[in-house]
Chains A and B, each alone.
Chain A
Amino acid sequence: MREEQEEQLKEAMDLYGDYIVRLCYTYVRNWLTAEDLAQETFIKFYRAIPKFRQQSTVKTYLYRIAVNVCHDYLASWKHKRVVITNTIQKLLSAEKTTEQIVLQQTEDEALIEAIENLPPKYKDVIVLYHFIEMSQDEISETLNLPLNTVKTRLRRARQKLAFTLKEGEDFDGPH
C-alpha cells in the first residue's frame, strides 16, 4: 500500500513537478521558495492519497493543493517577514528608480510583472487558465468556486492586466 502510494507520488512529481514549481513561483517570486512549496504540495498530496477518490483528476487535485499551499504561505508571518526585509533592502540599495526599471523592461517582462502583481484571487485564475491551460470547469473544481465566479474573475483579471499595461489588449484564452 505504502509502495503504491510512493509510486503515485513519483509519477506525480515527474509529470507535474516543473509546472507546480512554476505555479508557485508566480506567487512567491523566488525559485528556492517555490521549490519548497512544491515539495510541501507533494507531501500533502502523498498524505491525501488514501482519501483521494478519483472524483477529480490528479492534475486538478494537485493544483488545488498547490494553490492552497501558496495562499497559506502568503498569509504566513514567514512570508511577511521576507517581504519586509526585501523592501528594506531595496530602499537601502535604491540603485535604480522604478521608472528606470520600467523603461528598461520589454513588453513581455512588463506582462509577467503585471501578472505576478495581480491580487491572488485574480492570479489564481489567470495562471491556471493561461499557463496551466485548465478549462474554466477545471478551474472551478480546482479552486472550489462556482463557474460564474471563475468567468467573472478571469474577465476582471484580464481587464486589470490590460489597464496595467495600458494597451487595452484583449487576452483571449486557448480554449
Chain B
Amino acid sequence: MDRIKKVMDDAYREGKFSDEKKSETLVVIQNRKKTFQPVPVVATLFITILILLISTMIPPTEQVEYVSTERADVNLEEAYMERIHLGFNITTEEQLENYLSESDWLLQRALESGNSVFYHSPQLNQWERKDLATLLHYLYIWRDTYGSKALPFDTTVTTFYDVLREAPFYVKVLSDFFDDEPYMTSMEEIGEIPVTNFGAMSQGNQIGLIITIIFFIILFVWNTKSRVNLLFRLIPIVIILMCLIPFVSPVKNDYAYDETSIMQVAQKQLDLDGGLLENAATFNNARYGLISVNAKRYMVTFIEDEHGYSYSRSVGGSDWVMEDLNMGNGTMEYIFGFFKGHPYSKVKLVGDGGQEVEIHVTPGESVIKKVELTNDSYRYYYYDDKGNEIQ
C-alpha cells in the first residue's frame, strides 16, 4: 500500500463528518437564502453611484443672506412702474437704447425674494412675485428682439396694482413668443449649479465615466469568480474608487445667482475682506457686479455656461470701469460701471469711423450701462453735470 496513503489514513482516522453536522447541514440548506458574493458587491456599488448621481441634482440648502445695500429705501412699486412705463411705451430708437442699456435683474431678484436690501417691497404672494418678475424678463427680451414694435396686448395700465392684476395674462402672451427663454428664479438657478465635479462634467464625460465604472465592476466580479491573483482583483477596485472621486469631490463653486453669491465669489476671487455690492446687472449671457471695498473698486463678470453664470474675470477702477464682449457679426457690447460718488453726467464715445454714442448717467449714483457698438476703435470723453469735459 502506498505509504502516504497508509500514514494519512492512520493520522486522520478520527476525522468524521458527524451525524449532527449532517443534520445541521440539512437544516441550513432549508433555511439559508441564496447568497452570491458578487451580487451584493455590484448592488452596493450601483446604489452608491445612484445616490451620488441623485445628490448632484439636489441643490445646496444653504440659506441666502444679503450682504449689501445702497437702495434699501427705494420703493419697489415705484421702481417697477418706472421700468414698466419705460418698456411699455417705446416709440423712438433713443427710448429703446435707453431701456436696453439698463438691466432690471436686481428688481427681478427683489420681487422674487421679497426681502431685497436694494428695494423696499410691498406684501405680495409668491405667485404675484413670480409673475411680476417674469413680466420684466419677457419685456426685456421682447424689446431686445422686436425693438419698438408694439406689445401684443393692451398696455394702458397706470398703477402698480393694474400691472399686478394683468401680469399673469401678459406673461402668458409673451411666454408664447419666447418659450425657449423661460424666466429662472435664483433658486432654480441654484438647482442648475453642479454640487460635485461629476455634475460639472459634460454629459459625454459623465456617460464615459459611468461606462468605465460599470466595466471595472464587471471586471472585478469576473476576477472574483475566476479567483485570479489578489492584485488583479484589487486593481479594478482602485480604478473604481478613483472614478468615484468626482462624485464626492465638491465642485469649485463660482456661480452667481443672487446678490450674496456675487459678493461671495468676488471676495473669494479677489481675496477681499468685506465689501459692498453697489449694483448688479444681467445682460443676455453675462452678469456683472459692481463692488467697492474702501478705496478699491471692481467690476466682476460672470459668463453664462450650461450650469449658470460662472465667474470669468474682474476689472478694477476708481470712478468707473468698463468691460467689453465681442458679440460676433462685427459688434461689441460695452459695459460701463459707474461707482457711487462718480462725477460724471455723460460719456461720449467717438469711433474712428465717425460713429458717436452718448451715455447719460446721474452723477454720484452707481449704475451699470450697456452699449452695443460696431467693432471699431473709440475715444472716450467724460462730462460733469454742467457739461464740462473732465480730463
Contact = CB atoms under 8 A, between A and B. Distances in A.
Contact of B15 (A13, A22, A75, A112): A22
Given A68-B227, A130-B8, A172 B25 contact: no
Interface in B288-338: none
Contacts of A115: 4, 8
A126 B29 CA distance: 32
A38 B12 CA distance: 15
Contact of B29 (A9, A71, A171): A9
A21 B17 contact: yes
Nearest to A38: B17
A99 interface: no
- Chain A interface size range: 35 or more
B32 interface: yes
A108 B8 CA distance: 9
B18 interface: yes
Contacts, number: 85
A111 B25 contact: no
Contacts of A126: 4
B94 interface: no
A65 interface: no
A108 B9 CA distance: 11
Contacts of B9: 131
A121 interface: no
A137 interface: no
Contacts of A133: 5
A68 B28 CA distance: 20
Contacts of B16: 17-18, 21
Interface stretch (A42-50, A51-59, A83-91): A42-50
A35 B2 contact: no
Contact of A131 (B8, B29, B230): B8
A9 B9 CA distance: 25
Contacts of B78: none
B8 A112 contact: yes
Interface string A3-17: 000100110011001
Interface string A88-108: 000000000000000000001
Interface in B22-75: 22, 24-26, 28-29, 32, 34
Contacts of A22: 8, 12, 15
Contacts of B10: 108
A131 B16 CA distance: 15
B4 A35 contact: no
B2 A130 contact: yes
Contacts of A108: 7, 10-11
Interface residues of B, number: 27
B32 A43 contact: yes
A17 B15 CA distance: 9
Contact of B17 (A6, A17, A26, A112): A17
A146 interface: no
A161 B50 CA distance: 55
Contacts of B271: none
B22 A13 contact: yes
Contact of A171 (B4, B12, B14, B17): B4
A173 interface: yes
A34 interface: yes
Of A6, A108, A126, A127, the most chain B CB neighbours within 10 A belong to: A108
Contacts of A14: 22
Contacts of A35: 17-18, 21
11 contacts: A13-B25, A14-B22, A18-B16, A18-B17, A26-B8, A35-B18, A38-B17, A39-B21, A39-B28, A131-B4, A131-B12
Interface of B: 1-5, 7-12, 14-18, 21-22, 24-26, 28-29, 32, 34, 227, 230
Interface of A: 6, 9-10, 13-14, 17-18, 20-22, 25-26, 31, 34-35, 38-39, 42-43, 46-47, 68, 71, 75, 108-109, 111-112, 115, 126-127, 130-131, 133, 169, 171-174
